[in-house]
Chains A and B, each alone.
Chain A
Amino acid sequence: MRCLWESHRRGILVTLGLIGLLVLFAIASPRTFLNPRIYRSFLSTIPVTAILALGMTLLVVVGEMDLSFPSVCAAAAYVFAKAFLATGSGAVSFVLAIASGAIMGWINGLIVVSIGVPSIIATIGTQFFWRGLILLLSDGIALSLASVRGTDIYSLFVGRMAGEIPVQSLWCLAIALGLALLLNRHPFGDSLLFIGDNRKTAAMMGIPVAKVRIKAFILMGVLSAFAGVLATLELANWWPTQGEGYMLLVFASVFVGGTSAYGGEGTIYGTLIGAIIIGIIEAGIVSAGLAGFWTRLVHGLIIVVSVSIYATMARRPQDR
Chain B
Amino acid sequence: MEAMVEMKGIGKSFGSVEALKQVDFQLNPGEVVALLGDNGAGKSTLIKILSGFHSADRGSMAIKGREIDFKAYDVTVARSLGVETVYQERSLGERQPLWRNVFIGRHRLNRWGLIDVKREKMETMELLSSVLGLRGAGLSPDASVETLSGGERQGLAIGRAMHFGADIIVLDEPTTALALSEVGKVLSFIGSIREDGRSCIVISHDLGHVYKVADRFVLMDRGSTVGDYRKGDITPEELMARMIGLNGEVKP
Contacts and interface: CB of A to CB of B under 8 A. Distances in A.
Interface stretch (A138-146, A186-194, A225-233): A186-194
Contact of A186 (B76, B90, B113): B113
A291 interface: no
Interface in B111-147: 113-115, 117, 142, 146
A206 B74 contact: yes
A193 B93 CA distance: 9
A201 B92 contact: yes
B198 interface: no
A103 interface: no
Majority SS at the chain B contact face: loop
Contact of B114 (A186, A194, A200, A203): A186
B87 interface: yes
**What interface size band does chain A fall in?**
20 to 34
Contact of A194 (B104, B115, B117): B104
Interface in A172-195: 181, 185-187, 190, 193-194
**What interface size band does chain B fall in?**
20 to 34
Majority SS at the chain A contact face: helix
Contacts of A202: 93, 104
A186 B115 contact: yes
Nearest to A314: B95
A35 interface: no
B75 interface: yes
A189 to B, nearest CB: 8
Contact of A204 (B91, B96, B115, B142): B91
Nearest to A197: B93
6 A-B pairs with least C-beta separation = A206-B75, A197-B93, A185-B114, A206-B105, A264-B95, A194-B93
Interface of B: 53, 74-76, 79, 85, 87, 90-96, 100, 103-105, 107, 109, 113-115, 117, 142, 146
28 contacts: A181-B114, A186-B115, A187-B107, A187-B109, A187-B115, A190-B100, A190-B104, A190-B115, A193-B93, A193-B96, A194-B93, A194-B96, A194-B100, A194-B104, A197-B94, A197-B95, A198-B94, A201-B90, A201-B92, A201-B93, A203-B53, A204-B53, A204-B85, A205-B91, A206-B75, A206-B76, A265-B95, A316-B146
Interface of A: 7, 181, 185-187, 190, 193-194, 197-198, 200-207, 264-265, 316
Given A193-B93, A204-B85, 19 more contacts: A185-B114, A185-B115, A186-B114, A187-B107, A190-B103, A197-B94, A197-B96, A198-B93, A200-B90, A201-B90, A203-B53, A204-B75, A205-B75, A206-B75, A206-B76, A207-B104, A207-B105, A264-B95, A316-B146
